[in-house]
């Protein structure tokens, strides 16, 4: 069976940046299971897996536009220190949870701390990065009606 829409696909992968640094990997653990065509994985990887069969290994390079997007300057802002009341020590790299414009929880990372305020970045950590996947298709099966209805693997 080939990878196609409404199939449950199991893959092992290693994700690296353009410098060859490992960002994430499923190897040595359980494979990643996802519902193909439901937007469960980034578009660039999903597109490249379409049509592959069990046992196929492929190296995939995903550009930012088909990964986690380009860096959005509107998601980087400097806030007054008062916005962080109750936090004694704020340092670069700290993560906070904030409410997005539609009420969703989003992670923001402190990028700079100075007298003018605290600069935070709400972009995904992998936004703007080229992603390199070494991926192997481990299994493919038809999704159940319930999985298709719910949009994810059960």
**CATH classification of the domain holding 93:** 2.40.10.330
> Looking at the domain assignment, is residue 11 inside a domain?
yes
Whole-number pLDDT of residue 84 = 86
pLDDT for 106: 86
* Same domain? 115 vs 42: no
Per DSSP (E only), the strands in 93-145 are 95-99, 105-114, 117-121, 131-142
**What order of strands is seen across the sheet that includes strand 95-99?**
76-79, 117-121, 105-114, 95-99
- Give the length of the chain: 154
DSSP state of 144: P
SS3 81: helix
Does residue 137 sit in the same domain as residue 61? yes
Q: Determine the pLDDT at residue 88.
A: 84
Structural domain boundaries enclosing 99: 73-121
- As a whole number of angstroms, the distance between CA 36 and CA 143 comes to 9
Residue 2 lies inside a defined structural domain of this protein: no
| Residue 64 shares a structural domain with residue 11 | yes
| Same domain, yes or no: 86 and 134 | no
| Token pair belonging to 35 | 């519902």
Averaged over successive runs of 10 residues, the pLDDT of the chain (154 residues) comes to: 97 96 95 96 97 98 96 93 86 88 87 92 94 98 95 93
Closest CA to 139 of 24, 41, 49: 49
pTM of the model: 0.84
Q: What is the CATH number of the domain that holds 11?
A: 3.10.50.40
What is the count of structural domains for the chain? 2
* pLDDT on residue 72: 94
């Amino acid at each position: 069976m080939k990878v196609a829409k409404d199939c449950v696909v199991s893959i092992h992968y290693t994700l690296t940046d353009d410098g060859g640094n490992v960002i994430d990997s499923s190897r040595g653990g359980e494979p990643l299971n996802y519902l193909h065509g439901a937007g469960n994985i980034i578009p660039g990887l999903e597109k490249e897996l379409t049509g592959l069969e069990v046992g196929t290994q492929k190296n995939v390079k995903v550009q930012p536009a088909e990964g986690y997007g380009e860096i959005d300057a509107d998601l980087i802002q400097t806030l007054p220190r008062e916005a962080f009341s109750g936090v004694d020590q704020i340092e670069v790299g700290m993560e906070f949870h904030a409410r997005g414009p539609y009420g969703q929880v989003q992670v923001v990372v402190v990028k700079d701390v100075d007298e003018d305020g605290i600069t935070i970045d709400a972009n995904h950590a992998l936004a703007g990065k080229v992603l390199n996947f070494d991926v192997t298709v481990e299994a493919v099966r038809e999704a159940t009606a319930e999985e298709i209805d719910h949009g994810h693997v059960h």
